[in-house]
Structure 1
Amino acid sequence: MTVETSHRPAEHPPVKSGKIGVLLVNLGTPDGTDYASMRRYLREFLSDRRVIEEPRWKWYPILFGIILNTRPQKVGKAYETIWNKEKNESYLRTYTRNQSDLMAERLKDLPNVKVDWAMRYGTPSIASRIDALKDAGCDRIVLFPLYPQYAAATTATVNDKAFQHLLTMRWQPALRTVPDYHDDETYIEALANSVTQHLSTLDWEPEMILASFHGIPLSYFERGDPYYYQCQKTGRLLRERLGLPEEKFMVTFQSRFGPEEWLQPYTDKTVEKLAQDGVKRLAVINPGFVSDCLETLEEIAEQAAHSFHQNGGERFAHIPCLNDSEDGMRVLEKVVRRELLGWV
């Protein structure tokens, strides 16, 4: 007697599906200010081929032989000055979590949408949150790199990491990546409001406002990165929205690293020169940063302010990022709702 065997798959619990994920992703943050945490974070960040485009044979001896042995202590001390002591975390983590929670609240009219957040470097990782959204039934995900201006070293590396994880998945969710919004009207209005509101709290008026963006190596721009042009357009639109003449507003670039030439004018050199040339009152805004972080709270609010005063300046103001403010969330919500069209 022959016995027929069934080739039907074993029964499995029903798979969750039908929901849409929104994943907010920012650059990243160390888990602590200690040497081990800083080294782990810097290793992941500075090993990214999008961030450092030098050949590995040339870059790795510098990274592993010098930088990772000396820089963690220095950067850790800088983080300590701007650490959120109450939550024992960086403010970038605090604000990104808040943005995710507030976005979920603002999208309550879309019950099938689930909002989460991740970091490109550090924790929570992009892969872990894509998995979490998939497990929660999200078969479609809107991936939102939190950068108003596009750069390969920021936006593209977030997209790369997400798609690298999809390579490992048997059942991939559909993925939409959010484009830049450097000239979005709501974004420009929010920036202008933040300038106006902050300056209204001062008993003085700046002679000059700097819009300081994170820099990139000049060679990246020469290879076709649109970042420089987008920063310039954001700056121009903000200046026009504020009704300022060109001589009272400048776009500059900060945070350069290594000996290579970066986008100019450099923020630190400009702050120093303005003070030496007799400018006594200066305000700085960081339009390219969605949330305050080391580069804004320590590099601008502390270092740039100190340099300005050391070189003859008298009044310095750092205008906070949009963070989780009402205006800031209005910008992010507009972008998310636009990208959800057709799915909700």
Structure 2
Amino acid sequence: MSTAAPSETTQPTVQSGPKRVGVLLVNLGTPDTADAPGVRIYLKEFLSDARVIEDQGLIWQFVLNGIILRSRPRTKALDYQKIWNNEKNESPLKTITRSQADKLAAALSDRDHVVVDWAMRYGNPSIKSGIEALIAEGCDRILAVPLYPQYSASTSATVCDEVFRVLARLRAQPTLRVTPPYYEDEAYIEALAVSIETHLATLPFKPELIVASFHGMPKSYVDKGDPYQEHCIATTEALRRRLGMDASKLLLTFQSRFGNDEWLQPYTDKTMERLAKEGVRRIAVVTPGFAADCLETLEEIAQENAEIFRHNGGEQFSAIPCLNDSEPGMDVIRTLVLRELQGWI
């Protein structure tokens, strides 16, 4: 009895010559356009991932297709338009991630046979296109780099899921490595501290405290074993030690909750409201869980939460930029990549 072979995609044409090592930086994703159709396509892919919304049953499919994708794209498109890179006609996340890849490639230019590319988990350029491009460049080994300092199944794991799906369709698979989370890596904590200190030195005011805001997650995911909250706490505690601050001066909060379920607390927006009502007038917010500025940092924090703080009595608010492609930020990525490439280069 014959057995049908699994479906395969056509193997990318491989460049002849010495074998190379590929490095693929991966971030979350972004719409291709800052309008309702573009956001709808992006949200459909994002919210159809069972790592993001675990219950993909009939009720969720009705909510997603009958309610969310009919109304939310219009409102989110307006938010994207507030931060859009109009010169390049793309989101800042795409601009920054490309620059991170370009700068990493330049930093590794003295290493023989290393090729750097970048991709988005949702949207474009896709992980599939990134892997195919590296194979076409002659890479028989690939290091995937999820740009998430803190591990969670809905970020780091879903990158791996997609990488494995792409490789599963290839007859000649490259050897794969994946960088681990770096939530308390010394280079990462030092880079965060330097970025905070540098930014605070430019302000015309002295914040009374700093809020470290991480992307939120349903509490049930943590209850099932996701280590994300533990990693966020470890990052914050390490940053407190490095900056010489206690928990009253460097607060931990969670933003971007969605739906009606209980998410990790304390919530960032509720904390902004509470602090202002308690008499805090000057604050700064850092977002350590984001490797690059995006909608959640540039619009949700720097605009929405700033307005919540001021509306309730706060006076001065500053959003500290992500590490992005800054020198400290690139030090983190370069250190992480070189560590994981040992034995390959």
Q: Output the TM-score relative to the length of structure 2.
A: 0.95
TM-aligned CA distance change 1:320 to 1:14, over 3 Å: closer
- Distance in 1 between residues matched to 2:152 and 2:247, nearest whole Å: 26
Instruction: Indicate if the aligned counterparts of 1:17 and 1:139 stay in contact, CA closer than 8 A.
Output: no
Task: Report what 2:262 is aligned to.
Answer: 261
Q: How many residues align?
A: 333
Contact 2:15 2:137 in 1 (8 A): no
CA distance in 2, matches of 1:111, 1:249: 43
Match of 1:69 in 2: 70
Q: Distance in 1 between matches of 2:250 and 2:14?
A: 61
Give the CA deviation at 1:208: 1.3
User: Distance in 2 between the 1:59 and 1:231 partners?
Assistant: 28
Of 55-64 and 226-235, more deviation after overlay is shown by: 55-64
Alpha-carbon shift at residue 324 of structure 1 (Å) = 0.4
Structure 2 counterpart of 1:188: 189
4+ residue stretches of structure 1 with deviation over 3 A? Answer: 12-17
Cα distance in 1, alignment partners of residues 14 and 77 from structure 2: 47
Which residue of structure 2 lines up, in the alignment, with residue 322 of structure 1?
323
Structure 2 contact 25–146 (Cα < 8 Å) conserved? yes
User: Does the CA contact (< 8 Å) of 2:279 and 2:314 recur in 1?
Assistant: yes
How far apart are residue 221 of structure 1 and its match?
Answer: 0.3
Instruction: State the partner residue of 1:129.
Output: 130
Instruction: Work out the CA distance in 2 between the residues paired with 1:201 and 1:110.
Output: 37
CA distance in 2, matches of 1:182, 1:156: 15
Given the two structures, how large is their TM-score scaled by the length of structure 1?
A: 0.95
Percent identity over paired residues: 57
Q: Distance in 2 between matches of 1:25 and 1:308?
A: 33
Deviations, residues 105-148 of structure 1 (Å, cap 9, x unaligned): 00012121000000000001001110110111000000000000
**Structure 1 position 221 matched with structure 2 position 247:** no
Letter aligned with residue 38 of structure 1: V
Within-5 A mapping of 1:136-151: 136-151=137-152
In structure 1, the residue matched to 2:109 is 108
Amino acid of the structure 2 residue aligned with 1:69 = R
SS state at 2:206 partner: coil
Q: Tell me, in whole angstroms, the C-alpha distance in 2 between the residues paired with 1:196 and 1:291.
A: 18
CA 1:193 to 1:284, structure 2 compared with 1: closer, same or farther past 3 Å? same
**SS of equivalent residue, structure 1 residue 247:** coil
Q: Is the 8 A contact 2:48 2:56 kept in 1?
A: no
Give the corresponding residue for 1:4: none
The gaps in structure 2 that reach 5 residues or longer are: 1-12
CA contact (8 A) 1:16 1:136 kept: no
- Distance of 2:129 and 2:191 partners within structure 1: 32
Cα distance in 2, alignment partners of residues 63 and 38 from structure 1 = 14
Partner of 2:5: none
Give the corresponding residue for 1:275: 276
Q: CA deviation at 1:15?
A: 5.0
Letter matched to residue 22 of structure 1: V
Amino acid paired to 2:55: E
- Is the CA contact (8 Å cut-off) linking 1:17 and 1:138 kept in structure 2? no
Which residue of structure 1 lines up, in the alignment, with residue 343 of structure 2? 342
Name the counterpart of 2:245: 244
Q: CA RMSD in A?
A: 1.2
- Structure 1 spans left out of the alignment, 5+ residues: 1-11
Query: 1 CA distance for matches of 2:203 and 2:27?
Result: 31
**Greater mean alpha carbon deviation, residues 31-40 or residues 257-266:** 31-40
Kindly tell me: are residues 287 and 111 of structure 1, through their superposed partners in 2, closer, same or farther at Cα, counting changes over 3 Å? same
